[in-house]
A and B are shown apart, each in its own frame.
Chain A
Amino acid sequence: DTGVSQDPRHKITKRGQNVTFRCDPISEHNRLYWYRQTLGQGPEFLTYFQNEAQLEKSRLLSDRFSAERPKGSFSTLEIQRTEQGDSAMYLCASSYTEGNTGELFFGEGSRLTVL
């Protein structure tokens, strides 16, 4: 088990471009979470999936953001028409529901810089 992996680790893009991040959770985990973390702040919840179903979305997840988990395994987070305010670290976490005591396992994050 290699833990939660995220790709790419760093992305620099120009304002207005689209970007996509990928998250591969721990293999037996059925829940997957996306968070955003800006400099000097704690992670903020964006959305989460149980298997392929997206069960909750934060108000932070504007119309330019879309997340998918098509087969209940990996997930993608796409940001369309990026803005400078989207610059942040995007963190993915996973967990399982059976016997869970609430711990989330985090990846190392994908850092986005919008110029």
Chain B
Amino acid sequence: AQSVTQLGSHVSVSEGALVLLRCNYSSSVPPYLFWYVQYPNQGLQLLLKYTSAATLVKGINGFEAEFKKSETSFHLTKPSAHMSDAAEYFCAVSVDSSYKLIFGSGTRLLVRP
């Protein structure tokens, strides 16, 4: 069965510091992988997606992620955190023709001034 594990339910960084949010997936077939962001009391917004093209994927708001098949990972990074990045981030996998997403439990990013 497909699954996603996000290490760290909370990550705290200083403004301007590197952001690293970890995601590992489990899938028996080549997956599509996604990162979504959720602000309080709002729906989910797509940050970026991997669909078997380039392994380094660039998304919105300066975020990027690298697909590493050997490590079954899809970690999200941003070189310099901004206060507006504070939100909940979800990694998700899609593996069949339904295109339904299986989500991780999320990581809350806190940005300190």
> Hey, which bits of chain A sit against chain B, CB under 8 A?
4, 31, 33, 40-45, 48, 55-56, 91, 93, 95, 97, 100-109, 111
Contacting pair A41 B105 (CB below 8 A): yes
Q: Which of A40, A43, A91 has the most CB of B within 10 A?
A: A43
Contacting pair A102 B106 (CB below 8 A): no
Please tell me if B46 contacts chain A, counting CB pairs below 8 Å: yes
Contacting pair B99 A4 (CB below 8 A): no
Question: With the chains together, A55 CA to B9 CA distance in Å?
Answer: 33
- Residues of A contacting B44 in the complex (Cβ-Cβ under 8 angstroms): 43, 91, 93, 106
Question: With the chains together, A37 CA to B103 CA distance in Å?
Answer: 10
Contacting pair B43 A41 (CB below 8 A): no
- Residues of A contacting B26 in the complex (Cβ-Cβ under 8 angstroms): none
- Residues of B contacting A33 in the complex (Cβ-Cβ under 8 angstroms): 100
Q: Pick the contact of A102: B42, B43, B51, B105 (CB < 8 A).
A: B51
- Residues of B contacting A43 in the complex (Cβ-Cβ under 8 angstroms): 44, 90, 101, 103
Question: With the chains together, A48 CA to B96 CA distance in Å?
Answer: 13
Please tell me if B102 contacts chain A, counting CB pairs below 8 Å: yes
* Contact code string B84-99 (vs A, CB < 8 Å = 1, else 0): 0000001010100011
Please judge, given known A-B contacts A42-B90, A43-B44, A43-B90, whether A102 and B103 are in contact too, CB under 8 Å: no
Contacting pair B98 A48 (CB below 8 A): yes
Q: Which residue of A has the minimal Cβ distance to B92?
A: A42
Q: Which residue of A has the minimal Cβ distance to B31?
A: A102
CB distance from A56 to the nearest CB of B (A): 6
CB distance from A77 to the nearest CB of B (A): 15
Q: Which residue of A has the minimal Cβ distance to B95?
A: A102
- Residues of A contacting B51 in the complex (Cβ-Cβ under 8 angstroms): 101-102
Contacting pair B100 A48 (CB below 8 A): yes
Question: With the chains together, A107 CA to B36 CA distance in Å?
Answer: 13
